[in-house]
Amino acid sequence: MSTKAKESVKSLPLANVLQDLAILRASGMEIPQALTSPMHPVPPTPELNSSSVSTSYEFIRYSRGAIKLQHSGKVEVEGQRIEEIRTKYETLCNVLRAHIPPQE
């Protein structure tokens, strides 16, 4: 990945996300309730709560996996490898363009 692309991508501030989730949890509000319109409230049901809990666990599992992957350094290693391959490919294309005349 080029440095320009790295600079333009900003990750979510983890502390702010965790703080927001903690506030939702402390208020006793479920995430689906927070996302519904005040004009059309959704009454809580056992199915909604069960679905919300399972969705929350799935979100947490994926989030932990993403954080673990980010801290492992594997993403940077793969990015460097891809960048090296891209550079070699561009060099090869330039050499071929220089030595092979365009066909009409």
Record the tokens describing residue 13, joined without a space. 């501030």
What pLDDT digit, counting tens, does each position of 18-53 carry?
Answer: 777 777 777 777 666 666 666 766 666 777 667 778
Q: What single-letter amino acid sits at 71?
A: H
Query: Are 20 and 13 a contacting pair, CB within 8 Å?
Result: no
Give the CA dihedral 71, 76, 78, 81, nearest 10 degrees. Answer: -160
pTM of the complete model? 0.38
Q: Which range (57-61, 79-83, 91-95) has the least confidence?
A: 57-61
Is residue 33 exposed (0-12), middle (13-18) or buried (19+ Cβ within 10 Å)?
A: middle
CA–CA separation, 24 vs 46, rounded Å? Answer: 19
CA–CA separation, 65 vs 83, rounded Å? Answer: 24
